[in-house]
Structure formats: C-alpha cells, structure tokens
Structure 1
Amino acid sequence: MSQTPSDHDQDALPGSDAAERRWLEHTRSQIEAGTPPFDLARNWQRLAARVEAEGDWQRTAQARPPRPRFPWWQALVAYGLGAATAAIVAVSVWPLMPQLGGEVEPLGAPATPVAADRVMLQVVFRADATVAQIRAALDQADAEVVGGPGRLGVWRVAVPASRVAAARRSLATQAIVESVGE
C-alpha cells in the first residue's frame, strides 16, 4: 500500500491548494474503505429468483399449443399469385419484344454472304502472330478475310471453291496457324 500524506504534510506540499487537498483526502478515504463485503446469502437469493423466473417462462412456453408456421393454403395462394403474374407479364410484354430471325450471327463478325464460287474456312492463328504474318499466310493460300477475329480468336476466310484442299494444306503448314476448319 502506498503512503498517503497526512493532513499536516499536505500543507507543506509546494503548489497545493484546497482542491488538491480535498482530492487527496477523498482518494485516501476510498483506499482505506476498500471494497464492500460480499453478501453470500443475498446473492444466492437473487440467483435463485432468476432461475425460477426462467423456469416459469419455459413452462408457459411449453404449455401453449404449437402454431403452424406456414399452412398449406398460404403456399397455394403464393404459387397461384406467381403463376398469374407470369401469365400477365407474358401476355403484356411478349408482343412488345422484338422477334428475331432464325439466323444466328457469330459474336466476332456479322454474317457476310460469300459468293457461290467461294468456300468459307475458319482459321485460328497463334496469339503471338503479327498482322504481317497473318497477311502473308492468307496471301499464300489465296484466302480473303470475311470476318473475325471473334471472341474465341476464330477468323473466317473465303477461298476459291477449286482451291479448298490446297488452301487448307497451305494454311495448316504455316507455323502461326493453330487450326483450320470449315
């Protein structure tokens, strides 16, 4: 325990005033008073009352009949409302939607018509191929770019119908070509 100055020592402290003395006196009284004694009987009574109140609540909760959480008719009404909403949306929104044709257009390039004397090939070049290398490979095969590259890197090229096999061989032997197909 630390030493506290006595009353006659407080007056001797340099720079002390009445507020400091009162604070020191209050602090000393708090230290001397210590903590209050623990009342064991009173605390046991309080704990027993809480346990008894919890037991009463449990007994009343168990005595009540269980209430159904989601009766069958509510599920049926929710399903019916959903089906009715879907039907209304389909009838009112469907005519407003543009009707698309049956032709599917590739993502990379629009469908370009090819002359009757030409055949379409699909070519995938390596990722590190330069434009000059691609041009040289297509010129050697007598191929013309029709579309591409698409999102998958597919180029669509047209070659003369009489030279399809030779063009495929020519493109397949190039180091920058990964695949050739029709």
Structure 2
Amino acid sequence: MTSRVIIGISGASGAAYGIGALRALMPTEVETHLVISKAAARTIVEETELSVDEVRAMADVVHSNADIGASIASGSFRTLGMLVAPCSVKSASEIAWGITSSLLSRAADVTLKERRRLVLMFRETPLHGGHLRTLTQLDAAGAIVMPPVPALYAKPQSVQELVDHSVGRALDLLGIDVGLVRRWKDDGD
C-alpha cells in the first residue's frame, strides 16, 4: 500500500500550517490528499502570498469539500491518518459531535471510526466552556488535539521556523518524520 495522509485546511487563522505540511510532504513518498473548506480558501488568500490553486498544486490529490462521496470519505480507503491544519472551532465541533456536513468533517469522522490517527491543530484562544467540552469530546473519541504552540527551546529566528516546528511535531504524531523538528537533547544536567 502507498502511504497516504489526508490534509484538511479549515477556515481558522493559520493556513500556513496546512501549507507547511503539504510542502514538507512533497519530497517524500507519502501521497497527500487535500481538502480545503470554503472559509479556508478565503483565509489562504488573506494570510498568504499564494493562490488557492497554488496550494492545491502542492497535493497529490485534491478533493472538493462538497464531495462527500470522495474516496477519503470511506473507511476502506486506507491512510496513515489525517491532519487538520488549522482546525477551526466549527470543524472541531462538527468532528466532535459527528455532524459530517462536509468532506473535511466526514473524512475526519471516518478517520476516527477506523481508529486511525486524527491530529487537529486547533486554532482558537481564549476558550470558553463550549470549546473545552468540544475538545474533551474530541479526545474521548480518539483525536489528538494539538494547538500549534511554539516551542521556544528551539530558538526560532522567524515565523516560518515556528510554523515548521509545529508542522513537524504534528506530522510526527502521524508517524512521519520530515526533519523539521529540532529534537530535545539530554545534556546530562
């Protein structure tokens, strides 16, 4: 089987995380399946210098968010898992409560039901009780909630280094090492 991963980009701020994951996976043997929400398309244009078509060109396969019959909506379509980067409150809520109104939320739901890794780079702060209940529901369902919190021990010199480190850690959770993470070293102290 070809190693495959699904990358979902939802409408929260932080399109750079999904784009970073696609860039990191391009030189690898991992086949990427991309789904972009309608709100994410706008965020990509607002936050980056890229067009939505340029982002789509980074993936091996692109699926319409409206196509709930796409291959990634089926449990028989084997993958290493799915990364939603960034993950909006709306997408997190749909996934947590099984409201699969789009391909992005359906693919995430299938990932959970098949007991595959689902990593959600949740992008919201501050949090209210509803958000917290959603996050605990996601955890109970088997998702990995990974807000993109910067690792300052890596002494990043740019925003891109912050993004790359978070992307590398998220891909680590899917069992994919793309060399972006500065690993902690034990100096014996």
Alignment TM-score, normalising by the size of structure 1: 0.21
Higher relative contact order (CA 8 A, sep 6+): 2
Q: Going by fraction, where is helix more abundant, 1 or 2?
A: 1
Alignment TM-score, normalising by the size of structure 2: 0.20
